[in-house]
Amino acid sequence: MSSGIKNRNRDKYERVRRLMWIKCEACGHLVYYKDYKNNHYVCPRCGRAFIMTPKQRFDLLFDSINWQKFELPIVSDDPLNFTDRISYKERLEEAREDTGTNDAISTADGKINGINTTVCVMNGDFMMGSMGRAAGDAIIASIEHAIELHNPFVMVTCSGGARMQENILSLMQMARTTAAVNKLHENKLPYIVILTDPTFGGVTASFAMLGDIHIAEKGARIGFAGRRVIEQNIHEKLPSNFQTADYLYEHGMVDIVVDRDNLKDTLKRVLTVLTKQPHEPKVIDVKTPKYDAPKKSRDVGKTPEYDKVLLARNENRPHFLDYVNGIVDEWTYLAGDRCFGEDAAMGGGIGYWYGIPCVIIGQEKGRTIETRQQHRFGMSNPEGYRKAQRLMKLAEKFNMPLISLFDTAGAFAGGSAEERGQSEAVASTIAMGLKVKTPYIAVNVGEGGSGGAIAIGTGDRVMMLENSIYSVIAPESCASILWKDNKFKAEAASALKLTARDMASLNVIDKIISEPAGGAHKDWQTTMELLGKAVFDAINELLEIPVEELVPLRAKKFLSMTRDVEIFQPEHTPEEKQV
């Protein structure tokens, strides 16, 4: 058969074969197309998530297929009369014929968990989802449309970056779309960005990294410059997971990494809390975990104050994530400072506290050897405090009460923390806490150690669990410095006046929350009920105060603190005086 003659039967067979089977570009295996489609266009063999069309995205995210497409503005083609191997106009014609869309953006309105939402999707099959004038105008029009309807706005990104054929006109879309996002934030509407594979260049350097919450699909490649370009420029081998969703999570750029199967449920949960949908209070039902009681410390009974120190540090005492899991409903953990990294020592997220949508932050110590190392015993790095600031701003934007459960021996003292500005991070977190325009409740649930604790402890209402402690320094360190021997740690604890009762006497806190007999570690259920109710009551009290009055009242509270306080001088034994 000559090469110029077509075999129609062969062509028909090839078309049928392509409809039945698809070759995965990642692992190379042939996959039955129906399985591929039913798996939301994720290879069932290797898990690689491939580009979805806008329609497929809308069908995946909305509650039903009854979504309404929003008509986007049309702009003129090829303003620069650009030609490379073929003209830009020809490339546009090919892309339109292949995708059936005018350009790389499609937008629709529908319901997600019953919430009216506007979803904007970048089509990676249209010239790699690149951003030109048409895309910029479409994004701006979509955002303005969401503002007009007062809808949350969800942006699904998939792009190779700027569209070179439009040169400076493409570059200007970074500023134009950012201006539109600013308007979205000013109108206090939720802006959720879903980062899919691939998202690069001017898209990540503008609207894609300005969301209230960033959700990345597992395995997605996300970055500014491409891997190959970076390796060629710096002549350095990059990590195998470089610019993956997990890599960006570790480096603080995204809040959540999810499989495509779990994407819709995650989005539902986030939107439900941010839009403050009515929610029944969660019934607290926790069990106190069994634990091996430590051998009785020889320091027990030396002073009542040091006994409190030991109770505050008890290994079975509930920590931040324990309280969250026990009290909070529809919880979504949010990660990263958007600058450098995710700090597991500083937890944070959104959820319902007794039916009230809140932002909740706090230090997590960990319980096993592995988790204690992961959470650094609750001692935060600068990125942890900067994450706390980011979540404070989130609480302010949506006027959601901010709850802080602090429990730390102090901010992490290390060379790397100093390099990244530990002092500035703590100072600016204190400043942010004092000026955040939303009800703010801070609870000391264990150790309140130095600046690491007060960084997230400047609430309108500051409370302490009965057996928690609050101090500028650990009693052991105090004894080593002033007594020249840490064997006097119990005496130092007494002298420091670090108990909850002492804090109340000094007017440093507003309320002591009772603990079960023997301490919180003995009965998690009762502890969480008492703490949950105390915070709930404080929130309701603060919600009665106009939000514009909260910051001046908070400042007044702390400015007046420590004035006219009687200075206590502990008595010293003859032995101590000789030291």
Q: Which amino acid is at 419?
A: E
Confidence band, pLDDT 50/70/90 cuts, at residue 235: confident
The Cα–Cα gap between 372 and 387 comes to 20
Q: Quick check: 208 pLDDT over 90?
A: yes
Confidence band, pLDDT 50/70/90 cuts, at residue 23: confident
pLDDT mean over 24-42:
85
| pLDDT score recorded for residue 28 | 85
pLDDT mean over 496-516:
95
pLDDT higher for 380 or 300? 380
| pLDDT score recorded for residue 577 | 35
Tokens standing for 211? 């969301």
pLDDT mean over 263-287:
97
Cα angle 73-145-80, degrees, rounded to a multiple of 5: 30
In this structure, the strands spanning 68-69 and 105-112 are antiparallel
pLDDT mean over 374-387:
95
Tokens standing for 43? 């290879």
> For the CA atoms of the chain, what is the radius of gyration?
28
Tokens standing for 78? 């090829």
| pLDDT score recorded for residue 237 | 86
| pLDDT score recorded for residue 180 | 98
In this structure, the strands spanning 328-333 and 346-353 are antiparallel
| pLDDT score recorded for residue 502 | 95
pLDDT mean over 546-566:
90
Question: Exposed, middle or buried: residue 481 (CB in 10 Å: 0-12, 13-18, 19+)?
Answer: exposed
Least confident of 179-188, 198-207, 329-338, 557-566: 557-566
Q: What is the pLDDT of residues 98-148, one digit of tens each?
A: 999 999 999 999 999 999 999 999 999 999 999 999 999 999 999 999 999
Cα angle 192-198-199, degrees, rounded to a multiple of 5: 50
Measuring CA to CA, how many Å separate 391 from each of 331, 384, 435? 14, 11, 13
Continuous segment of H or E residues that includes residue 93: helix 88-99
Do residues 212 and 274 lie in contact, with contact meaning Cβ atoms separated by under 8 Å? yes
| pLDDT score recorded for residue 127 | 95
Confidence band, pLDDT 50/70/90 cuts, at residue 17: low
> What DSSP line would sit under 422-476, residue for residue?
HHHHHHHHHHHHHH-SS-EEEEEEEEEEHHHHHTT---SEEEEETT-EEESS-HH
Average pLDDT, the chain: 92
Q: What is the pLDDT of residues 146-193, one digit of tens each?
A: 999 999 999 999 999 999 999 999 999 999 999 999 999 999 999 999
Q: What does pTM read for this prediction?
A: 0.91
Least confident of 140-144, 272-276, 571-575: 571-575
The Cα–Cα gap between 534 and 514 comes to 10
pLDDT higher for 298 or 346? 346
Q: What is the pLDDT of residues 50-94, one digit of tens each?
A: 899 999 999 999 999 999 999 999 999 999 999 999 999 999 999
Tokens standing for 271? 């939107």
Do residues 481 and 489 lie in contact, with contact meaning Cβ atoms separated by under 8 Å? no
| pLDDT score recorded for residue 189 | 98
Q: Alpha carbon 385 to chain centroid distance?
A: 13
| pLDDT score recorded for residue 294 | 66
| pLDDT score recorded for residue 579 | 33
Q: Quick check: 269 pLDDT over 50?
A: yes
| pLDDT score recorded for residue 576 | 40
Do residues 468 and 446 lie in contact, with contact meaning Cβ atoms separated by under 8 Å? yes
Which residues in 259-382 belong to E strands, given as ranges?
A: 328-333, 346-353, 356-363
Q: Quick check: 570 pLDDT over 50?
A: no
| pLDDT score recorded for residue 12 | 54
Q: Which amino acid is at 55?
A: K
Confidence band, pLDDT 50/70/90 cuts, at residue 334: very high
CA dihedral 121, 125, 127, 129 (to 10 degrees): 30
Helix count (H) and strand count (E) of the chain? 22, 17
- Residue labelled with tokens 């020249």: 484
Domains of the chain: 11-48 (no CATH), 50-274 (3.90.226.10), 304-561 (3.90.226.10)
| pLDDT score recorded for residue 396 | 98
